[in-house]
Amino acid sequence: MRVSNMFIPTLREVPAEAEIDSHKLMLRAGLMRKIASGVYSFLPLGYRTFRKIEQIVREEMDRAGAQELIMSALLPAEVYQASGRWEVFGAEMFRLKDRNDREFCLGPTHEEVFTETVKNEIRSYRALPLTLYQIQTKYRDERRPRFGVMRSREFVMKDAYSFDRDEAGLDISYQKMYEAYCRIFDRCGLNYIVVDADTGAMGGSGSQEFMVKSSVGESGIAYCEACGYAANDEKAECISDSCCDTSCCSESGQDCCSEELELTKVATPDVKTIEELTEFFKCSPKEFAKTLIYKADDKIVAAMVRGDRELNETKLQNLLNCIELEMADPETVQKVTGADVGFAGPIGLDIEIIIDNEVANMKNFIVGANESGFHYKNVNIERDFKASMVKDIRTICEGDKCPKCGAPVKVELGIEVGHIFKLGTKYSDALHCVYLDENGKENPMVMGCYGIGINRTMAAIIEQNNDENGIVWPMSVAPYHVIIIPVNTKDDSQAALAEKIYSDLLESGVEVMIDDRDERAGVKFKDADLIGIPIRITVGKKASEGIVEYKLRKDSEVIELKAEEAVEKAK
Ligand code: ATP
Ligand code: MG
Ligand code: MG
Ligand code: MG
């Protein structure tokens, strides 16, 4: 391409709204523009890279035996009602109505639709295993869209879903996806770590996140170099003494430590009826101070739902759905359960505490411990949920003991670029997605789901590959491989040699740009650096001798080569 014809609106100034490198650079290098909060368009240069990432993902999915299809983004409410997620998604779901007042949403993730599709078409065990995927636009009305496409409200996700006969089959499908993910992120040139994630109330048997190490990451990751243990901060077990220090009496002047906060292991509730719930909590729904763990603002929050109201069957089911899915905001929980949300506070940053006085006066109730299978007993809100205390209670810290081997762990921030999840039969049970086995017996399909954010991956690549002059694209995702810069386009021999190199490279299938603009060389160099093209060939004064300068974006070294050698090297 000829830069003189290209639409690359670069900016000299750092845009005020951008806080992190990738966001600044994506705007400055003319890769994208903002349309609305959390909504962006990709411009030509950005879209090339975007498509390259998509293509890497596609190739690796295909290699792993997954088959591509595409679902609609516009989905009827019924799809999510059967699984209970119409309510559970809460405010994060973009909802709309058609002209006949039928409810729809813009899909935030597609477990239900894939399950329905497979359910309707597959009967026999012979058709399994099956993994389907799409690369498709998702919509999430994020509470706080930020960092450009890193957390946007419209984004493209590769989402894959596997369907197996049994757990053993799922293990194999999951492993294939795991390996495909490693290849994808390797090919993208990312330095990442795979961490265990909480399956929490989703109830699956395993889940891992692919985290790109970065100081602008929004998730904490703890890992041990001695034994390979790695978990996100929701999953990481905190076993250090200092971590669970709850001393506080001196500050509040209350006698609040008479009963110490106690982390109690509880079996994951598998309760489907009021009777079972009563049995499980050893109290009637009317009395129980039930806890659940759910997410708000992308952080796990603990919430207590007081059982001081009669729960009917529907409310209970909705409550159980919330518990299972770990996803809802306080308002939603309150709305769907009809219960009073006594307390809700994200563990970690952005503390938001809703305490009504009555609840604050209650003594010694149980709350979610931000850890699947655990609750805190003897909680005293005043004492235990001061913002500073919350962090102490839960967060695993640098130097804490590794839960596996006891060596000191490292703690860093990471960007979640991919997430793989053993769902088990959660959706197949809810939607009755079954197959007939060899004996003609009906069984639920055993499912996995696997997501990668394409836009976020692109931003993460830039986050890890930039310097003070701009982006430093890895070759695999660079919008173009080579940029040729004639220093003075008015000089005939320079222009002619640059054109010759350009056409030779084009002929060899190299993706090449030529900066044929009538601009000062300094401007061209600056732009080439900003947009991060991996190889720069400069045609200057020695053009008449057939000599050019060859430079890699990631190195400072400039070498002189014969034009033909430069072409060979750049191929
Ligand atoms: P987060 O914890 O950052 O909110 P998530 O756990 O909600 O992400 P998943 O539902 O696991 O996300 O979706 C799979 C992938 O989609 C994520 O790993 C991420 O790469 C991408 N993704 C999720 N939300 C967004 C978003 N708002 N903007 C861009 N990419 C996103
Ligand atoms: Mg999220
Ligand atoms: Mg997440
Ligand atoms: Mg996730």
Distance CA 439, CA 484 (A): 67
Of 337 and 399, the structure prediction assigns the larger pLDDT to 399
* Degrees, nearest 5: CA angle 480-153-39: 55
Average pLDDT over residues 157-170: 98
How far is ligand 2, taken at its centre, from the CA of residue 298, in Å? Answer: 5
Using alpha carbons only, give the angle 541, 543, 544 rounded to the nearest 5 degrees: 100
In the block, residue with structure tokens 């100034």: 13
The rounded distance, in Å, linking the Cα atoms of 380 and 258 is 11
For residue 135, give Cα distances in angstroms to 93, 140, 308: 19, 16, 46
- Would you give the DSSP letter of residue 400? P
- Cα(162) to ligand 3 centroid in Å equals 20
Ligand with smallest separation from the Cα of 151: 1
Rounded mean pLDDT, 15-36: 94
Q: pLDDT tens digit string along 176-206? A: 999 999 999 999 999 999 999 987 555 678 9
Q: CA-CA distance, 317 to 320, in Å (whole number)?
A: 5
Give residue 90's pLDDT.
86
Q: Which residue has its alpha carbon closest to ligand 1 atom 29?
A: 151
Contact 539, 486 (CB under 8 A): yes
> Is the Cα dihedral 338, 341, 347, 349 positive or negative?
positive
Neighbours of ion ligand 3 (CB under 5 A): 416
Measured CA to CA, the distance from residue 246 to residue 254 in angstroms comes to 13
Q: List residues bridging with 522 in a β-sheet.
A: none
User: Residue of the nearest CA to atom 26 in ligand 1?
Assistant: 151
Does the Cβ of 176 fall within 6 Å of ligand 1? Answer: no
DSSP string for 230-273: EEETTT-----TGGG----HHHH-S---SS--EEEE-PPP---S
The structure tokens listed for 161 are: 């879903």
Closest residue (by CA) to atom 14 of ligand 1? 451
What was the pLDDT predicted at 260?
59
Say if strands 206-213 and 192-196 run parallel, antiparallel, or are unpaired: antiparallel
Q: What is the pLDDT of residue 200?
A: 59
Q: How crowded is residue 86: how many other Cβ atoms within 10 Å of its Cβ?
A: 20
- Long-range contacts made by residues 96-104, C-beta under 8 angstroms, separation at least 24? 102/76, 102/77, 103/76, 103/77, 104/74, 104/75, 104/76, 104/77
pLDDT over threshold 90, residue 112 = yes
Site to substitute for ligand 1 among 158, 184, 349, 456, most atoms within 8 A of C-beta: 456
Mean pLDDT of the 374-398 span: 48
Q: Answer whether residue 211 shows pLDDT above 70.
A: yes
pLDDT on residue 356: 34
The reported pLDDT for the residue numbered 511 is 98
Q: Are 173 and 162 in contact (CB under 8 A)?
A: yes
Residue nearest atom 22 in ligand 1 by C-alpha distance = 453
Distance 453 CA to ligand 1 centre (A): 6
The CA angle 479-34-44, to the nearest 5 degrees, is: 25
Q: Per-residue pLDDT for 15 more than 80?
A: yes
Instruction: Give the whole-number percent of the chain exceeding pLDDT 70.
Output: 71
Q: Is 450 in the pocket of ligand 1 (CB under 6 A)?
A: no
d(CA 188, CA 451): 16
Residues 6+ apart with CB under 8 A from 253: none
* Residue 298 beta carbon below 6 angstroms from any ligand 1 atom: yes
pLDDT value, residue 120: 95
State if pTM tops 0.80.
Answer: no
Regarding the beta carbon of 59 and ligand 1, being less than 6 Å apart is answered no
More confident residue, 113 or 249: 113
Give distance in angstroms: CA of 197 to centre of ligand 3.
Answer: 9
Average pLDDT value over all residues in the chain: 80
What's residue 316's pLDDT?
Answer: 53
Comparing 72 with 239, the larger pLDDT belongs to 72
Name the nearest CA neighbour of 303 among 368, 232, 247, 354. 368
Q: What is the pLDDT of residues 508-559, one digit of tens each?
A: 999 999 999 999 999 999 999 999 999 999 999 999 999 999 999 999 999 9
Ligand whose nearest atom lies closest to the CA of 418: 1
Cα–Cα distance measured from residue 529 to residue 198, given in angstroms and rounded to the nearest whole number: 41
3-state secondary structure (DSSP) of residue 83: coil
How confident is the model over 222-278, as pLDDT tens digits? Answer: 999 999 999 987 777 655 443 333 333 333 333 433 455 565 554 444 555 656 655
Cα 185 from Cα 177, distance rounded (Å):
12
Confidence grade of residue 395 (pLDDT, cut at 50, 70, 90): low
Identify each DSSP E strand in 430-563 by its residue range.
434-436, 442-444, 446-453, 466-467, 470-471, 482-486, 512-514, 535-539, 547-552, 558-562
φ/ψ bin of 522: left (φ > 0), alpha (ψ from -120 to 50), beta (otherwise): alpha
Query: Do strands 67-68 and 482-486 pair parallel, antiparallel, or not at all (unpaired)?
Result: unpaired
Residue 10 burial (10 A CB sphere; 0-12, 13-18, 19+): middle
Distance 217 CA to ligand 4 centre (A): 13
- Give the pLDDT confidence of 297-336 residue by residue, as tens digits: 333 334 444 333 344 555 555 555 544 444 344 455 445 4
Three-state SS for 381?
helix
pLDDT band at 441 (very low <50, low <70, confident <90, very high): very high
Measure 157 CA to ligand 1 centroid, in angstroms.
8
Higher pLDDT, 401 or 531: 531
Q: Is the CB of 220 under 6 A from ligand 1?
A: no
* pLDDT tens digits for range 333-384: 445 444 444 333 333 222 233 333 333 344 444 554 445 455 555 555 555 5
Interacting residues of 550 by C-beta distance below 8 A, sequence separation 6+: 535, 536, 537, 538, 558, 559, 560, 561, 566, 569, 570
Structure tokens at 197: 């994630």
Q: What is the pLDDT of residues 489-507, one digit of tens each?
A: 999 999 999 999 999 999 9
Identify which has the larger pLDDT, 372 or 443.
443
- Does ligand 1 have an atom closer than 6 angstroms to the CB of 109? yes
At residue 370, the 3 state secondary structure works out as: coil
The more confident residue out of 514 and 215 is 514
> With bands split at pLDDT 50, 70 and 90, how would you rate the model's confidence at 143?
confident
Ligand 1 atom at shortest distance from the alpha carbon of 417? 20
